[in-house]
Amino acid sequence: MQHRGLEIRYCPPGFGVHTKYWPYLLESALDVPLVLSDDDIVYPATWLEGLMRVHLQHPEHVVAYRAHVIGMSDDSFLPYATWRSCDDDEPSFAHFATSVSGQILPIPLQQALLDQGDVFRSLTPSADDVWLHRTAVISGYRTRQVAAGQQHWWFIPGSQVSGLNALNVGSGANDVQIAAAHTTLSRERIAADLFGG
Residue 127 has pLDDT above 50, yes or no: yes
Nearest residue to 66 via CA among 136, 145, 183, 154: 145
Element (H, E) at 157: none
pLDDT tens for each residue of 52-80: 999 999 999 999 999 999 999 988 999 99
Averaged pLDDT for residues 29-39? 93
What 3-state DSSP class applies to 68?
Answer: strand
What's the rounded Cα separation, in Å, for the pair 69 and 16? 26
pTM attached to this predicted model: 0.91
What's the rounded Cα separation, in Å, for the pair 170 and 112? 30
What is the length of the chain?
197
What's the rounded Cα separation, in Å, for the pair 35 and 21? 9
pLDDT tens for each residue of 77-121: 999 999 999 999 999 999 999 988 999 999 999 999 999 999 999
How many CA atoms does the CB half-sphere of 172 hold within 13 Å? 5
Q: Where are the domains of the chain?
A: 2-195
